[in-house]
Structure 1
């Protein structure tokens, strides 16, 4: 739509007070005004990325770009920045002072770059930095003073670099008195030779995946380290026995092929219960019993035997590790757990046996009870069958993880005895059938996960007994039917996941038993489809407490049509997902029931919708998030969004919008985020208002300054030339002003030259109106209206009136004279007009003074209207003087009347005056005076002389 300039300017002022803004290469995180993400922008220059970020920014992520160089004071305009992530760039050079003025920065991530050198002063200004990540770079040297400004640094990660000179690293760490965590893994360090000690507060040291063999460090060099990782090196037991580790609480020496743990424990420099026994090749029962002999009677919270290549555990193998609370046997080759007979049941609370080769869980009905066992995890095995009573030896179990196996068969009472179980994970298996007694005894179960199995039908009473179940996940199966009554008995179920199944039909009866408690319902990627919007289907009519409903991606063609009343009953719904459904139409009443909706996702529904019906969101007054991405929308009218006064985020990405009327944002007074990225906006006058709004507003528009014109990709939308848009408006204004100027110039000239002509035509029009609306044209108030000049007033009053009016009442004429009969106080023109039209004739007493009078001329002209335009005999002329024709030629109106009408001349001789008055009376009473009537015989004159006046 195009508007004249004036309308556009005023429109821009009164369009909502909502304003917008954007950033060239960053996105402000929704609902967090201080968090910015600048990812995958392929920018080379740091200034082009951060120059438009406001000084209030606190968290900034600039990852996965191609920035190679950080100049001095790159972020000086961001003094409040607290967290800066520059990982996954291609940084090579960081100038001295690159981070100046970042006095509030606490976290700096420079990992996964190509930094090979840190110049002196590079960290100047980072007085409050607490965490620094420099892993996965190309560092080979550290200047001794490079970390001196970092007085508050507590965690430093230098892993995966080329810092093989350990002594130089220790020297550079000397100023870091607050350092607690240091990682130097994967740096090709072969020895711990040093000239200085480690920082006094350092407690955690990672030296994994180096080439350490003989440490060659002072015996007390690591005395203050509490957590020490020396895994994946070539350390020998003898070299480690030379080091004092009496204060170390955790030591891992996994995957050191020449390390003999038994030899080390004969003369340990660390208590045996503080060692992680993972990756030490403890693959026989003998070796394990030997380790447990050293641990006998010692409290150990975690016994880690990960990655020891253990394939069999005989009975009581770990019996002497009696104080173990948590045992982890993951990443071994165990094929059977034999009801945990290899463990001492006294204090065990958690058992993890993941990534092994377990195939079957046998019945443990008569096995030893583990009274404290609360958690078991058998994930990532090959379990295909679980016998009945498989877990009766753990009656107090609360968490059981059996997911990611090959389980096909569940014994009839496989979970018998687990009355205290809270969480059961059976997802990612091959279960095909669920029976009414499968979960019968799990009365305290709150979470049941059966995702990604092969269940096809949910039968009635399948979940009976699960009266405390809150979460039921059946997603990713092959369910085609959910029988009525399937969920009966589940009194607390609030979250039900049925996504990624093959359900073709849903009805209200499907949810019998859980109508009052269900809050989350996921039906994503099923096979629901409706072919007519005239159908009236209400499957959710009883689900009054559901607040989250997912229906996206119905297969294979999408939902296509939403039937009438489909969402009826969902009075509490807040989140609705309908994306990827290829909707062909959306009626304007489809969402009328959802008055509490705050989130609506219609993304990727492009299948011919093209335009949304006005009023479609009329009842969604609480909506805050609306996703309309890729819906093939080609135009948007203001009526569509008229009710969305609480909307905060609007996604319009990848639609066919070539122009956007900013009036659609009038009622969105709380809008904070707008995404119109990848819309083919044209740089034409139709988008002039949008460009102005974009450049001055306070609503974030995603990549607002990177949007290009669809009609010219080399031009940016925010800066295309709009001056041409004003030419038409300017032309209109110029033409209008020129026209009015001409009028103002011409009107005075015309007025001065043709004043009386204009006035005459005006009164002709008034006369015509009077005549047109006269109700009775045959009734007159006067016989004649006398038009005369004041200089002839004596003749009129002394000579004419006695002869025409002052006679007997039956013969006298009624004359109208302006000095006598005009209404006082009334406009003179109105008096003249009314007098002429209230008189049968108009008598003009013509003299030279009469011809010179403007008023007399106007009176005669008004009277001549009927003569010339209506061909009516109303005008009688009396000439008091003999005026030659040449003198009358200047009075064209008088000449025109004389050519049409016979006139009477006042005679000087007294004898002729009687005939004169006779002719006047005859003319005023009716009929024309023929030319031959001007001749009179002597007898007639004698007769006339005897006539009464």
Structure 2
């Protein structure tokens, strides 16, 4: 069988099937991506910061498919043992690399050399023992280095020299027992912060550190067995923070001149195991500069003895006395601490507010949390007119006496959560400047009118985790500045949240009502919607955890919430939405309906949400997302649809969400067949939408592939394949297709083709033609509507001016011979085929068959035999699928007829060059002109 006969057979039998499959498979993909073993935050096309999270994946190596635009990479909490140079060779944009909590023992020399923009490197909690000379090559922009909690015993002297921008380094919890091993660190020009605690250092002396002044501001020597601390020169003129906590040896303190540490303002001596007199001598070094002193975990006896001397430091503003088991402090012990502005007495055993507190009029912050205080008396906070923050949570307070807060005229923040309080008129007077009040986790059972009437400046109020059953209308009257109200985890019911409760909160922006007992019996409109006066509310939480939920959402429940931007409504036990549910929230940005059991969701419910950006529909029993197609969610960025029963994600859905950058489909019932071929290609190949854990998506159908990875599906069998079609066309596909609905349409041609193929086989009269035996230079394929142009323009120019011999229908076809046979003979007897393409051409059945025959000859001979001349601009979707097939095989020659008034000489010159081109392989001699729309 000759090439032209095999071409005839292929074209006719496969034409309809190939058209259908090409339309289904070879389409313009929307944008989407997924990275194996990692999660990406940020669009590869638009975002400035691309964050890649590969943590907690049990990885033995750094994944090789990380986008080269990544700026943050987290590979922590894996089992990586070695950092190789090729891991980061393409990640020159990386600014932050987190590799903590692995098993890294070795880092190849130059492994980070490509990370020229890296600013933070975290290798903490690994098994490194040596820091080699070439480990930090090219890291000239690194500012933060974390090597804490390794097994480092040796550091090459030149290892840190490339780190000219380093400002902070943490080498705590290693095995560096001599300061000389880290001495090169101190010489770095920009270094400001050094943490070298728990290393086994026995001495810290000027001679071991530097002989020049350093820029160091923070020095942390936490829990080293220092026997000597000696500063004999002014090497720390800028030192601001010194940590000497939990030093367990009887250390010799040798600072020969107080001026050497005169800039230190923050000193931590917590847990210091020195005799009392040595600590006293040590403190005298800082008498002129110290502003903050921490004396945690020293014990009640020692700290009491120290307080008197500490209070003599006139510059001291903050004193921390945590974890000392203090039960009380007398006025005599702290009588000289009047300069203090911040006092931390948390985590002790105080049974009442120490009397000394009222003698410290300059206090601006007082922390009494985690004690055993039972009552607040009317004198406990007297004279504290400058106090701005009072923290007394996690005590056992059940009573606050009248006028206990009368002197707190400037108090801004009061945190009194986790006690045993009932509202008893505590806030009907005083506290006129209070802005934040936290009463969460107490014993409140109701809220009455006037309970907060004095708090005119209040902006944040938390009443969560109480037992509130009832809120009297008008309870929040006067709180015109309130912007945040937390009522979650109480026992509020539908009757407790009437509109009158919130009617006097004109500026409220956040309202948390989740985990209460609010429910409705139907979707019928409410006579008095509860939120109708909250015109400025932006965030509303009504989700449920462990309760029966709301059961129904009344159609006008959200009436009045014109400014609402975020609605959390998950786990409400609702199974449907009224079409008017969101008509009152047109500016909603975030909607969470997860963990409900919807019978159905329709387009109507979502039509009002024209600016929605984030939609959570996880675990709601969805079998399809097609209801979103016509919902006009053109601004949706994030779609969470995990833990549903979705099986197919189609192209139409994705294209209806043009701004989608994140898609979560985990734990669905996805089909591993050709129905998801498009989705597989889209997930892997494009760059704008992250498919969460795309490589972890599993198949649920068919049964033989259940549990397999979706992206491992071989979609090649779903694509058009020439060999596959030839095989099928000669066996079962022809018979099955022709016996279908198109039997009559194809039968007559098949008989004609079969006749000529049989004749060729019996008589062997169809031979391959050699180049020098061809009869024509070009076969002209055109539609009758374009005949005038062919006869007036093309033929005179090519035959008259250029001397080519052309094959034309009306002139050169053999009379009486079947048309199709004439076409095949004309094409195979010509060196080239010129297709004059117009819209009429594409609509013509015979023209279509001519270009199909020419395309098959091109495919079979792999020679440049086809020239396309476009008489007009034609959109891509109107072109023949066989022209697309040609484009897929290799680039071809395309020429456009100039627009009216333009010069035609260039066109004729290009056509002449195309005709002169010999029958060389297209890959060897490509000629291409851009058509603009093609």
* Same fold (TM > 0.5): yes
Q: Distance in 2 between matches of 1:423 and 1:100?
A: 49
State the match for 2:269 in structure 1: 253
Q: Distance in 2 between matches of 1:96 and 1:150?
A: 15
Give CA deviations for 1:22-55 in whole Å, capped at 9, x if unaligned: 11122222575523232444343434x2x22222
Structure 1 window deviating more from structure 2 (484-493 vs 386-395): it is 386-395
State the match for 1:278 in structure 2: 295
- Cα deviation for residue 512 of structure 1 reads 4.6
Against the structure 1 CA distance between its residues 338 and 639, is the aligned structure 2 distance closer, same or farther, given a 3 Å change threshold?
closer
- Cα deviation for residue 101 of structure 1 reads 1.0
* CA contact 1:389–1:416 (8 Å) conserved in 2: no
- Cα deviation for residue 469 of structure 1 reads 2.0
Q: Distance in 2 between matches of 1:496 and 1:312?
A: 36
State the match for 1:493 in structure 2: 482
Give CA deviations for 1:736-761 in whole Å, capped at 9, x if unaligned: 599656413658999xxxxxxxxxxx
Give CA deviations for 1:47-93 in whole Å, capped at 9, x if unaligned: 4x2x2222222122221122111112321101111111111222222
Q: Distance in 1 between matches of 2:609 and 2:338?
A: 62
State the match for 1:27 in structure 2: 39
Alignment RMSD, CA only?
Answer: 3.4
* CA contact 1:436–1:464 (8 Å) conserved in 2: no
State the match for 2:79 in structure 1: 66
Against the structure 1 CA distance between its residues 108 and 437, is the aligned structure 2 distance closer, same or farther, given a 3 Å change threshold?
closer
Q: Distance in 2 between matches of 1:671 and 1:119?
A: 46
* CA contact 1:133–1:157 (8 Å) conserved in 2: yes
Q: Distance in 1 between matches of 2:693 and 2:494?
A: 42
Q: Distance in 1 between matches of 2:530 and 2:283?
A: 73
Against the structure 1 CA distance between its residues 559 and 89, is the aligned structure 2 distance closer, same or farther, given a 3 Å change threshold?
farther
2:713 corresponds to 1:720: yes
- Cα deviation for residue 162 of structure 1 reads 1.2
- Cα deviation for residue 319 of structure 1 reads 2.8
2:725 corresponds to 1:744: no
- Cα deviation for residue 704 of structure 1 reads 1.9
State the match for 2:331 in structure 1: 315
- Cα deviation for residue 570 of structure 1 reads 1.7
* CA contact 2:206–2:233 (8 Å) conserved in 1: no
Q: Distance in 2 between matches of 1:212 and 1:21?
A: 54
Against the structure 1 CA distance between its residues 555 and 640, is the aligned structure 2 distance closer, same or farther, given a 3 Å change threshold?
farther
2:565 corresponds to 1:565: no
State the match for 1:673 in structure 2: 662
SS at match of 2:149: coil
Q: Distance in 2 between matches of 1:392 and 1:268?
A: 32
Against the structure 1 CA distance between its residues 746 and 123, is the aligned structure 2 distance closer, same or farther, given a 3 Å change threshold?
closer
* CA contact 2:303–2:324 (8 Å) conserved in 1: no
Structure with greater contact order relative to length (CA < 8 Å, sep ≥ 6): 2
Q: Distance in 1 between matches of 2:662 and 2:556?
A: 32
Alignment gaps of 5+ in structure 1: 346-369, 751-949
* CA contact 2:261–2:285 (8 Å) conserved in 1: yes
State the match for 2:541 in structure 1: 550
State the match for 1:815 in structure 2: none
- Cα deviation for residue 312 of structure 1 reads 3.7
State the match for 2:415 in structure 1: 425
Q: Distance in 1 between matches of 2:657 and 2:650?
A: 13
2:277 corresponds to 1:287: no
* CA contact 1:427–1:452 (8 Å) conserved in 2: yes
Give CA deviations for 1:828-863 in whole Å, capped at 9, x if unaligned: xxxxxxxxxxxxxxxxxxxxxxxxxxxxxxxxxxxx
Alignment gaps of 5+ in structure 2: 1-15, 756-934
Q: Distance in 1 between matches of 2:379 and 2:17?
A: 83
Against the structure 1 CA distance between its residues 526 and 733, is the aligned structure 2 distance closer, same or farther, given a 3 Å change threshold?
farther
**369, 372, 376: which one pairs with 2:366?**
376
Q: Distance in 2 between matches of 1:442 and 1:138?
A: 54
Q: Distance in 1 between matches of 2:536 and 2:330?
A: 54
Against the structure 1 CA distance between its residues 324 and 639, is the aligned structure 2 distance closer, same or farther, given a 3 Å change threshold?
closer
Against the structure 1 CA distance between its residues 555 and 539, is the aligned structure 2 distance closer, same or farther, given a 3 Å change threshold?
farther
State the match for 2:402 in structure 1: 412
Against the structure 1 CA distance between its residues 293 and 111, is the aligned structure 2 distance closer, same or farther, given a 3 Å change threshold?
closer
Against the structure 1 CA distance between its residues 12 and 571, is the aligned structure 2 distance closer, same or farther, given a 3 Å change threshold?
farther
**199, 218, 234: which one pairs with 1:204?**
218
Q: Distance in 1 between matches of 2:75 and 2:754?
A: 74
Give CA deviations for 1:761-790 in whole Å, capped at 9, x if unaligned: xxxxxxxxxxxxxxxxxxxxxxxxxxxxxx
- Cα deviation for residue 695 of structure 1 reads 3.0
State the match for 2:506 in structure 1: 516
* CA contact 2:52–2:66 (8 Å) conserved in 1: no
Q: Distance in 2 between matches of 1:307 and 1:577?
A: 40
2:518 corresponds to 1:528: yes
2:580 corresponds to 1:589: yes
- Cα deviation for residue 486 of structure 1 reads 1.6
- Cα deviation for residue 421 of structure 1 reads 2.8
* CA contact 2:476–2:505 (8 Å) conserved in 1: no
- Cα deviation for residue 670 of structure 1 reads 1.2
**72, 87, 95: which one pairs with 2:100?**
87
* CA contact 2:617–2:641 (8 Å) conserved in 1: yes
Give CA deviations for 1:864-906 in whole Å, capped at 9, x if unaligned: xxxxxxxxxxxxxxxxxxxxxxxxxxxxxxxxxxxxxxxxxxx
Against the structure 1 CA distance between its residues 236 and 486, is the aligned structure 2 distance closer, same or farther, given a 3 Å change threshold?
same
Q: Distance in 1 between matches of 2:516 and 2:42?
A: 31
Q: Distance in 1 between matches of 2:165 and 2:753?
A: 87
Against the structure 1 CA distance between its residues 285 and 600, is the aligned structure 2 distance closer, same or farther, given a 3 Å change threshold?
closer
Instruction: Return the TM-score normalized by structure 1.
Output: 0.69
Against the structure 1 CA distance between its residues 376 and 476, is the aligned structure 2 distance closer, same or farther, given a 3 Å change threshold?
same
Structure 1 window deviating more from structure 2 (202-211 vs 172-181): it is 172-181
* CA contact 1:316–1:341 (8 Å) conserved in 2: no
State the match for 1:473 in structure 2: 462
* CA contact 2:164–2:189 (8 Å) conserved in 1: yes
SS at match of 2:97: strand
Against the structure 1 CA distance between its residues 618 and 293, is the aligned structure 2 distance closer, same or farther, given a 3 Å change threshold?
closer
- Cα deviation for residue 263 of structure 1 reads 7.2
* CA contact 2:459–2:483 (8 Å) conserved in 1: yes
Q: Distance in 2 between matches of 1:313 and 1:160?
A: 36
Against the structure 1 CA distance between its residues 21 and 124, is the aligned structure 2 distance closer, same or farther, given a 3 Å change threshold?
same
* CA contact 1:636–1:661 (8 Å) conserved in 2: no
* CA contact 2:386–2:408 (8 Å) conserved in 1: yes
State the match for 2:52 in structure 1: 37
* CA contact 1:127–1:150 (8 Å) conserved in 2: yes
Against the structure 1 CA distance between its residues 180 and 582, is the aligned structure 2 distance closer, same or farther, given a 3 Å change threshold?
same
Q: Distance in 2 between matches of 1:88 and 1:680?
A: 34
- Cα deviation for residue 129 of structure 1 reads 1.1
Q: Distance in 2 between matches of 1:323 and 1:315?
A: 14
Against the structure 1 CA distance between its residues 173 and 502, is the aligned structure 2 distance closer, same or farther, given a 3 Å change threshold?
same
Aligned residues: 713
Give CA deviations for 1:465-486 in whole Å, capped at 9, x if unaligned: 3233222211111111112222
Give CA deviations for 1:181-230 in whole Å, capped at 9, x if unaligned: 11110112223378643373334221111111234786767677443222
Against the structure 1 CA distance between its residues 486 and 78, is the aligned structure 2 distance closer, same or farther, given a 3 Å change threshold?
same
* CA contact 1:415–1:439 (8 Å) conserved in 2: no
Q: Distance in 2 between matches of 1:624 and 1:277?
A: 47
* CA contact 1:611–1:636 (8 Å) conserved in 2: no
Q: Distance in 2 between matches of 1:574 and 1:98?
A: 46
* CA contact 1:339–1:393 (8 Å) conserved in 2: no
State the match for 2:173 in structure 1: 160
SS at match of 1:643: coil
Q: Distance in 1 between matches of 2:218 and 2:513?
A: 48
State the match for 2:199 in structure 1: 187
State the match for 1:650 in structure 2: 639
Q: Distance in 1 between matches of 2:413 and 2:145?
A: 39
Q: Distance in 2 between matches of 1:473 and 1:35?
A: 36
Q: Distance in 1 between matches of 2:79 and 2:714?
A: 31
Q: Distance in 1 between matches of 2:482 and 2:106?
A: 57
Give CA deviations for 1:691-732 in whole Å, capped at 9, x if unaligned: 233233321111223323224256432241234446899876
Q: Distance in 1 between matches of 2:371 and 2:751?
A: 102
SS at match of 2:520: coil
